[in-house]
């Protein structure tokens, strides 16, 4: 009887890229290889600075996900439309800042994350990322398929170019991220996978995704349900428009307006109310109470505070700070 050789799955291994493995002239090229291999296609460039570039990446793949610790003396990185087209999976990126500073531009807004902050952004939208020149920029970075959050309400909008400040990050998540940073080289893949799965589970909680009330018409089916689902996914984007939703669905803008007429409202009114409801829900949630009112307004697509405040008072009959019941984070 012939024997059949079974191929055993390979155990995930820690991979290391270090600019010190190459000459000074090739230092950045070595790091670039590590970035593109670890976190899907990017176009990184060194920051113009007299200090010679130094960088190191330690990363491990955990099934569909990847996690690692990176350290650089400063760089710029772009995820262009060409990079996005070459990316196989729509993913959520994140960096927990251990030292230095990271600024990120995505979805027409800029955020800056410092030590202890967590910054989240999407793989399938153009990105401009900059780390501070001349400083040691060290962070825990990760990549998670967005499909892992398919059943989490509002996760897409809340995680799009969002900074969770260190003093507002829930302790279990920050502890797990610090544990990954400390034990990446010494722990087994199974141990790392367990800690990382805890991070994945805690991310929606940290963003307040489970505090929002159900959307009106959430149970709608057919074309109306599909339309409202697209709006739900894009609700946090300031440039959300009927034409944008129509393009997503492959229908005419006129059809979008007709659908809302059947619901007895308009596109603009519906979007405004949904955004206001999301802000109000976060104002009264444990996680949302740690954020400023302006931060919550911008998070949910408002780009003008005076417009937001007037709309909030008209809709709820009270100021945002009165709904929350304190003045500590008004701004």
Predicted local confidence at residue 6, as pLDDT = 42
Q: Tens digit of pLDDT for each residue in 218-229? A: 445 567 888 888
Predicted local confidence at residue 79, as pLDDT = 86
Does position 330 have pLDDT exceeding 50, yes or no? Answer: no
Taking Cα atoms as reference points, which of 112, 200, 201 lies closest to residue 161? 112
Does position 184 have pLDDT exceeding 90, yes or no? Answer: yes
Predicted local confidence at residue 215, as pLDDT = 42
Predicted local confidence at residue 50, as pLDDT = 66
Lowest mean pLDDT among 4-13, 171-180, 244-253, 306-315: 4-13
Of residues 97 and 259, more confidence is placed in 97
Which CA distances in Å does 259 have to 219, 221, 272?
15, 12, 17
Of residues 120 and 25, more confidence is placed in 120
Tokens of 250: 């492959």
Domains recognised in the chain with CATH numbers: 15-206 (2.60.120.10), 222-324 (1.10.10.60)
Dihedral angle sign, alpha carbons of residues 69, 71, 74, 75 = negative
Share of the chain above pLDDT 70, in %: 86
Predicted local confidence at residue 4, as pLDDT = 37
Q: Tens digit of pLDDT for each residue in 206-216? A: 887 765 443 44
Taking Cα atoms as reference points, which of 144, 162, 164 lies closest to residue 39? 144
Distance CA 208, CA 161 (A): 15
Q: Average pLDDT in the 103-117 region?
A: 89
Q: Tens digit of pLDDT for each residue in 242-291? A: 999 999 899 999 999 988 887 778 899 889 988 998 888 778 765 556 67
CA atoms within 13 A on the CB side of 285: 22
Predicted local confidence at residue 18, as pLDDT = 85
Taking Cα atoms as reference points, which of 220, 120, 206 lies closest to residue 169? 206
């Amino acid at each position: 009887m012939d024997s059949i050789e079974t191929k055993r799955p390979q155990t995930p291994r820690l991979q290391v890229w270090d600019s010190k493995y190459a000459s000074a002239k090739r230092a950045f090229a070595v790091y670039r290889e590590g970035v593109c291999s670890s976190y899907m296609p990017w176009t990184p460039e060194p920051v113009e600075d007299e200090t010679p570039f130094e960088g190191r990446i330690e990363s491990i793949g955990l099934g569909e996900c990847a996690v690692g610790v990176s350290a650089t003396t400063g760089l710029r990185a772009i995820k262009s439309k060409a990079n996005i087209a070459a990316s196989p999976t729509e993913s959520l990126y994140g960096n927990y800042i251990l030292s230095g500073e990271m600024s990120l531009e995505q979805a027409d807004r800029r955020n800056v994350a410092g030590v202890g902050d967590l910054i989240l952004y999407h793989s399938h939208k153009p990105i401009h990322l900059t780390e501070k020149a001349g400083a040691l920029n060290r962070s825990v970075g990760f990549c998670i398929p967005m499909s892992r959050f398919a059943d989490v309400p509002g996760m897409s909008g809340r995680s799009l170019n969002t900074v969770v400040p260190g003093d507002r990050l829930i302790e279990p998540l920050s502890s797990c991220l610090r544990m990954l940073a400390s034990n990446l080289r010494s722990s087994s893949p199974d141990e790392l996978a367990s800690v990382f799965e805890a991070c994945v589970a805690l991310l929606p909680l940290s963003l307040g995704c489970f505090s929002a009330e159900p959307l009106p018409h959430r149970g709608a089916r057919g074309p109306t349900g599909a339309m409202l689902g697209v709006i739900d996914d894009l609700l946090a984007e300031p440039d959300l428009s009927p034409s944008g939703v129509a393009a997503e669905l492959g229908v005419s803008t006129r059809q979008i307006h007709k659908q809302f007429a059947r619901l007895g409202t308009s596109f603009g009114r519906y979007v405004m109310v949904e955004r206001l409801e999301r802000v109000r829900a976060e104002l009264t949630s444990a996680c949302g109470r740690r954020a400023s009112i302006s931060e919550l307004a911008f998070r949910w697509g408002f780009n003008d505070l005076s417009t937001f405040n007037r709309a909030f008072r008209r809709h709820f009959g009270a100021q945002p700070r009165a709904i929350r019941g304190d003045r500590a984070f008004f701004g």
